[in-house]
Chain A
Amino acid sequence: MKETPLELQICYEIAMSIGNSLDLSRMLKQSLSTYLRKLNCKAGIILKNNFSPDSQISFEQVFSIPRSINSYADICGKIPLTQARLEESKSCQLLQTLPLTYTWADNQYCHVMELPDFGLLLLIKSTRPLPDSIITSLQSINQKLAGACQACLQREKADNLVDRLKDEVAERKKAEESLLASKQKYQSVFENIQDVYFELTPSGHILEVSPSARRLFGSPRTEIIGQWIGDYSTDNARRLAFMEILENRGQVYDYELHLQSKNGKTFTCAINAVYQKDENANPLKITGSIRDISQRKTAEIALKIAKENAEATSGKLRKANTELHKLNRAVEQSPIMVVITDPKGCIEYVNPKFIQHSGYSAEEATGQNMSFLKSGKQDDEFYEKLWTAISAGNEWAGELLNKAKNGRLYWEQTFISPVKDENGGILHYIALKEDITWRKEAESSLFKAQEEINAAKAARSQFLANISHEIITPLNGVIGMSSLMLGTSLDNEQSDIMNTIQLSANSLMAAVNNILDYAKIMAGQLNMEVGNFDLELMLTDVMEMMKLQIGEKPLVLNFKLYKDTPLDLKGDSRRLKQVMINLIENAIKFTESGHIDVHAQSKAEKQDRVTLEISVSDTGIGVEKSCLDTIFDGFEQQDKSMSRRYGGTGIGLAICKALVEQMQGSIGVLSHQGQGATFWFRVNLTKRKATRRKKKTVTGSWYAKAPAASETPIKPILVVEDNLVNQKLTMKLLEKMGYEAEVVPNGKEAVEAVCHKDYSLVLMDIQMPEMDGLEATRVIRSKKDYPKTSSIPIIALTAHAMKGDRETCLQAGMNDYLSKPVDPQQLLNIIEKYMCNRKINL
């Protein structure tokens, strides 16, 4: 098909665009863009064929417009020729089918044309394909393009070759220059070398030496050449050893040898030598150098010493430097403020924490006197003291109230330390400051809170003291008087009424005592009164007391003290008794019939300590399983009906628990409802030295019986009591116990009385008009003219039952202490105790 004039123009323009450059990319860019423009194609790809040694052919994209054709992979994927590797014969067959036009559904046409001996040209066109006439014309144009591509590649190869040749020439030239330079250098070195260069025959005859040999050997070079090296050696053995090493190893470095000059002067040399051999390993000659190291040897010693010194110094410097860096980092990153001033207090350095805290920049702070931070809230005297301390070279620590840039006041804990020179002169001050504003505020709040707590505690203590005095005193009267009334002749009805009154009053007293104890525990005011006691005696006392509680119940109170239990112990026997009584009273209360067993035994012993276990088992109603966990909590009873039926405040066991725990012990219960209960507690007590032990297990059973009468004293007892009811009660009790007694209403009269009459014992109230019991005791004890009065037993008898009361009484000179309400048995015990002593004293 013949081309139209337009097509001819187009083909001409395309042909003219080919080969304008020998750079492949540049040439293809111009040619291919002309192909595309003129043929109105949207993309073109040039592929180059690559032949592998196994006669396979593959095509590689070398150029395209646009540069990245998104669908290039798709295009090539559809053309068999461009896929993977083909056998050469196969590809030849395919090439013979070109040009080919591939058509895709969306009016896309891909014309594949051969670029002979180079590769392929792919032209992608939209809308309509290229006319056959153009395709035909393009074959010859493509040939030109292929030729141009080949030319570009040849040019590229030639350029590479030229480049390589240029490089080689340059390298050779460089090598020649280097050789020449080296030769010149060698000559220069040879002429000017300080060391002696030598060449020897394998037998040791000198072939060549550098001119410097004259300085060493005292002869001109020409005279030395031909000499035997052995003639210059003073140490034949070392020379031979040197030769042996050289023969064996082929080279020797820094071999030290003593040589001598023509005039007999010896010197130490370091010799480097190499055995030169031909390709058959036949020795040719020995070359090397000789260096006079006589001076070096001397210098080496000096250098070694200097080096050691330098290393030591360097080490110190390094360490100091490291320390300095560390210090610098520490100061810069310190969470506390650091300020360095001159001796006048002018700031020289502040750390970032100071800047952050005060709000002043380093520039603003530097040069200012430290006083610029003053808040004005601390007086001049305070600052004068500070300056007096630090200017005398002392350190100062204290709290400063300073002002930040924004006017905020802040407290800081400040520590100022002078930095002194070697003569003690002050160079700087370093101030370390920590913001304690929050702490000061917290302290202030805490102080206020503590004051409030103390006030509350004081009020509570006072309240408890008042309560105990105000309740127990009249109650004491009721119990005592009813007891006395029962001792008179009463008809049956009156007797019943009085019994009821006494029973009620006792219950009330027990409840009040429990409540007071519980209050003390809650207030942390329950203190242990540690003293020596006899365990067996204490237990017997308790059993004696408890048998009275059984009343008319068909109960047997059994007691068992196990073998080997230590008896002489140290602890608070009163509190121990209280726990036991509480448990036994509970057992009696909740057991209608049967028996109550009290067992005491040592569970563990260690050095001077013993763990004593006391258990109280009963055959009563037992404890519900659900109550076992809470039974020792305050105000807990099995159920509300219990308190109605059995009475009680429900705090007895809580008190027991607190007391036991205060004695580093534990308490517990084992029970099944309806099958009785076993309450046990363990306490840690101190064994006294050489304590007695129970030789065998003892048992006993108790039933209620009347107390035995006491021995009648010879001298009367003085009762000092202002309250008429208490006067009457005490007097009646004493009378009932068989003692004679007299009463006075205050301390002043008591002093008078003991000075003028001989009493066996004084029962002294504390709170009284005119003169209180404590003052009266002090006066009595101070009466040196009345020796009998100074040793008379004085027993405090008071409703004061608070912490410290007992100590106060003992400190005033009293012998013992009984709290009201007076327990008749306790009163009797204590009277007997002191009357007995008194008797002995008498």
Chain B
Amino acid sequence: MYIQNDTSGTLDGMRKLIHKVASCKDVKALMVLACDQNEFTPDQADPLLQSLQVPVFGGIYPAIVHGCQKMEKGCIVIGLPFHANVFPIKNLSLKDDIEHCLDSNIPKNMMTQTMMVFIDGLAPWIGAFVDALFNVFGFGNNYIGGGAGSLSLKSKPCVFCGQGMLHDSAVLVSLDRPSSIGVAHGWQSAEGPYRVTKSDTNKIISLDWQPAFDVYSQTVNQLSGRILDRDNFYDLAKGYPFGITRLDAERVLRDPLSVDENGALICAGEVPEGAFVDIMNGTNEVLLAAASSAANQACQKFSYTGQEQLTFLVDCISRALYMQDSFYQEIKTACADQAPLVGICSIGELANSGTDYLEFYNKAIVVGKIGVS
């Protein structure tokens, strides 16, 4: 396995890196993780991605992680010494039946131990896609992945495959390699519950029959001692996500990313109508404890005895934004063992190791251990 990074943030830098890694001995697939700040466009990147002789996959994220280093510019190229089956599922907004779409794009009886999911993090169909994914593939394999895209919250081409940079799409990567997954967020209920009396996929329109922003801002104002308005919305809201109740496990969080002109809250991920939500809060300490818990879960479940392992970190960008300098500690916690670590600061996280219903998380840290050789 070869891991190289380029901090120039230029396409030329990525091209050189890709060619360098692709030409290395035994490289059978490439994972390419790039920063949004590079501002790559399909016109520039597509010829490069389409010219590759090995399968390629990955995405563009607000930030990426190599070792203990968070990068906001540049890219990381990972040369994998095993084969990867890459399936782009394109133009999902136009698809009525995502299950049918998966059925027709992905062969049956494929040997999959680990499914990596690179998905447009700002797409409204994520909930339906995750449901369809679990319904079709079940709990027979592990899932790890995260939402790609930009903190500008503008939807644009952000996932990579051999066809180029795709918009409104997901890329599924089937690996016949063992893995273990640990997931946690650490956030705790600060206020609630509130009932989601009206929602539309990832948009909370009303809480307790009142405009969602009004209810949310009142609570956040009380909790933070600051005034939440449209201008400072995410700056403050990143510390007060919604938590959706479930039994026996941490709540599933929804990060309120913005507020629309009607006072509806736009979240990263679906919020079901009728759900009870709490407004959550967390400190760096509890968040770091959660990171440690995720890392421990992954390590304890990983019975792989091969020589080479890869730690793949999917850490919510809002955690990074919230934790600021402490985020370094979080990464360090995740790469506590000697295995090389690469990761993404995602817009939503996807993780499952066969014990739960597949969920699209927010504000969570996912630590994946993958057996390489």
Contact = CB atoms under 8 A, between A and B. Distances in A.
A65 interface: yes
Contacts of A42: 139, 354-357
Given A40-B248, A40-B357, A13 B138 contact: no
Interface in A1-48: 5-7, 9-10, 12-13, 16-17, 33-34, 36-43
B223 interface: no
A36 B245 CA distance: 12
A74 to B, nearest CB: 13
A128 interface: yes
Interface of A: 5-7, 9-10, 12-13, 16-17, 33-34, 36-43, 65-70, 126-128, 130, 134
B362 to A, nearest CB: 15
Given A67-B138, A126-B356, A40 B276 contact: no
Given A34-B272, A42-B355, 8 more contacts: A6-B245, A37-B246, A37-B357, A38-B245, A66-B138, A70-B138, A130-B247, A134-B247
B250 to A, nearest CB: 10
Given A12-B276, A40-B357, A126-B355, A69 B246 contact: no
A33 B246 CA distance: 12
B359 interface: yes
A9 B245 CA distance: 8
Given A36-B357, A130-B247, A13 B134 contact: no
B137 A66 contact: yes
Interface in B118-154: 131, 134-140
B138 A68 contact: yes
Contacts of B131: 33
Interface string B221-253: 000000000000000000000000111110010
A39 B354 CA distance: 15
Given A16-B274, A66-B134, A38 B140 contact: no
B131 to A, nearest CB: 6
B11 interface: no
Contacts of A66: 134-139
A40 to B, nearest CB: 5
A9 B274 CA distance: 10
Contacts, number: 72
Contacts of B275: 13
B267 to A, nearest CB: 16
22 contacts: A7-B247, A9-B193, A9-B276, A13-B274, A13-B275, A33-B357, A36-B357, A37-B246, A37-B357, A38-B245, A39-B246, A40-B246, A40-B357, A41-B357, A42-B355, A42-B356, A66-B134, A66-B135, A67-B99, A69-B138, A127-B355, A134-B247
A70 B247 contact: no
Contacts of A13: 245, 272, 274-276
A39 B247 contact: yes
A404 B255 CA distance: 77
A67 B136 contact: yes
A6 B134 contact: no
Contacts of B359: 37
B248 A127 contact: yes
A40 B249 contact: yes
Nearest to B251: A6
Nearest to A12: B276
Given A42-B355, A42-B357, A66-B138, A10 B245 contact: yes
Interface of B: 99, 131, 134-140, 193, 245-249, 252, 272, 274-276, 354-357, 359
A126 B272 CA distance: 24
A7 B276 CA distance: 11
Nearest to B249: A40
Nearest to A9: B276
Contacts of B355: 42, 126-127
B135 A38 contact: no
A756 B144 CA distance: 136
A10 B131 CA distance: 19
A206 to B, nearest CB: 69
Contact of A17 (B246, B248, B274, B276): B274
A28 to B, nearest CB: 12
Given A16-B274, A33-B131, A126-B354, A38 B247 contact: yes
A134 B356 CA distance: 18
B246 A10 contact: yes
Contacts of A67: 99, 135-136, 138
B261 to A, nearest CB: 29
Nearest to A4: B247
Contact of A40 (B99, B137, B139, B247): B247
Nearest to A107: B355
Nearest to A43: B139
A126 B301 CA distance: 15
Contacts of A134: 247
Contacts of A10: 245-247
Contacts of B356: 40, 42, 126
A13 B195 CA distance: 10
B351 to A, nearest CB: 14
Contacts of B138: 43, 66-70
A68 B99 CA distance: 12
Contacts of B134: 65-66
A127 B140 CA distance: 16
Q: Which 6 A-B pairs have the closest CB atoms?
A: A66-B138, A126-B355, A16-B274, A9-B276, A36-B357, A40-B248
The residue in A38, A43, A66, A70 that gathers the most chain B C-beta atoms within 10 A of its C-beta is: A66
Nearest to A127: B355
Nearest to A41: B357
Contacts of B139: 42-43, 66
A12 B272 CA distance: 13
A46 to B, nearest CB: 14
Contacts of A39: 246-248
B16 to A, nearest CB: 43
A411 to B, nearest CB: 49
A36 B272 CA distance: 14
A130 B245 CA distance: 15
